[in-house]
Amino acid sequence: MNRSGDGRIAAPDFRVSLDPDLPPIPGMSSAVPSLPPLASRLWSLLAASGAHIVLPPAETPDPSLVDEFHAIMTAARSFRLGPDMDLAEALWTRAGAFWAGEVATKLREITRIHGRAAAQGFLLLYAGDVDDRIVFSGHASPFAVTDRIDRSDFAIGPWLVLIACRLDPIGQAEPVRGYAQPILSGRRFVPVGSTLERDALTALIELQAKLDAYGLDATIERSFPAESAACDVLLSIRNRDGHTQELRIAIAAAERAIGKTAPEDSDGFVLTPRNWQDGSFVAWLAQTILERPA
């Protein structure tokens, strides 16, 4: 799959701290929880792979899980884990590499060359479900981490789970911590933050196919951050002559999030659970595309 992200989230050094989190000081109010480092790393990787962009059917007629992971591994070459080593050298997309000892072997090799502090590897697993410590991946055995798996408030899969690994004191690989990001599907790794967003993106992909039959190429681009309850989606419709129409859709999963989105105008719409249910969004799409053809 020939794709490229927009690079809005950059993390040239992919390593993260795996030190235990310190509890808040007694008597002091805790600050707003910071973003888990693995979340920002995963979003960076998704952005670099172009996972947040759904290209027209003419360019990607039949996407698959294999295609999505291939794009991820290609993007991984642009992140580093240490001197002269990129992420792709220590990133695995199947838990079998861990059980077979491949992860441990690679981490021991990194330790010999760069020292134990530099020895980090990562698993990126597709999962149907996750809990606080365990990844459930279809026909594969459940995979557990020693610390925890962080998640966003939206807890409906499928998921992509990024897990950081290190060597334990006896030289075996230890999966320490993970971050689970809900995605659109196993065929499209678009990050989603709500059921409304998943439904809307699915509808827009169906619209892509219908527009393709009329000679129009539609591209869907989802904004970051990936966990936001109010996100932006850009729908770009191009005809065969190269003229492009851009429609901006602000998705507010909760009515209270409307204030965080862009106001509506002729080329923009704020999608909420209410106007999704009453059909206003579909009516706006049809009217806007028909009245202002690309």
Q: Is residue 122 part of a domain?
A: yes
Q: Which of 157, 182, 207 is the last residue of a domain?
A: 182
pLDDT band for 259, please (50, 70, 90 cuts). very low
Quick one: 177 and 203 in the same domain? no
Q: Is residue 28 part of a domain?
A: no
Q: Give, in order, the Cα–Cα distances in Å from 257 to each of 14, 195, 260, 261.
A: 32, 15, 5, 7
Q: Is residue 146 part of a domain?
A: yes
Q: Residue 106: give the domain boundaries.
A: 37-182
Quick one: 229 and 273 in the same domain? yes
Q: Looking at residue 118, what is its pLDDT?
A: 77
φ, ψ dihedrals at 125, nearest 5°: -115, 140
DSSP letter for 161, please.
E
Unique residue bearing structure tokens 């992971």: 69
Residue 146 near residue 176, CB atoms below 8 Å: yes
Looking at the chain, list the stretches that DSSP marks H as alpha helix, in order from N- to C-terminal side.
37-49, 65-76, 96-99, 102-114, 195-213, 273-277, 280-291
Q: What is the pTM of this model?
A: 0.87
Q: Which of 153, 182, 211 is the last residue of a domain?
A: 182
Q: Looking at residue 33, what is its pLDDT?
A: 55
Q: Give, in order, the Cα–Cα distances in Å from 144 to each of 113, 132, 147.
A: 28, 9, 9
pLDDT band for 29, please (50, 70, 90 cuts). very low
pLDDT (mean) for 241-260: 74
Quick one: 226 and 287 in the same domain? yes
SS3 249: strand
Quick one: 168 and 268 in the same domain? no
Written as one letter, the residue type at 6 is: D
Q: Is residue 75 part of a domain?
A: yes
Quick one: 95 and 229 in the same domain? no
Q: What percent of the chain has pLDDT over 90?
A: 65
Number of Cβ within a 10 Å radius of residue 191: 25
Quick one: 224 and 94 in the same domain? no
Q: Is residue 81 part of a domain?
A: yes
Tens of pLDDT along 223-244?
887 555 568 999 999 988 889 9
pLDDT band for 294, please (50, 70, 90 cuts). very low
Q: Looking at residue 168, what is its pLDDT?
A: 93
Q: Looking at residue 147, what is its pLDDT?
A: 96
Quick one: 135 and 97 in the same domain? yes
Residue 186 near residue 171, CB atoms below 8 Å: no
Quick one: 123 and 216 in the same domain? no
pLDDT band for 163, please (50, 70, 90 cuts). very high
What's the mean per-residue pLDDT of the chain? Answer: 86
Q: Is residue 3 part of a domain?
A: no
SS (H, E, C) 180-237: EEEECCCCCCCECCCHHHHHHHHHHHHHHHHHHHCCCEEEEEECCCCCCCEEEEEEEE
Quick one: 130 and 210 in the same domain? no
pLDDT band for 57, please (50, 70, 90 cuts). very high
pLDDT (mean) for 62-73: 95
Q: Is residue 175 part of a domain?
A: yes
Q: Which of 119, 147, 182 is the last residue of a domain?
A: 182
Quick one: 55 and 161 in the same domain? yes
pLDDT at 261 over 80: no
Unique residue bearing structure tokens 């995979």: 143
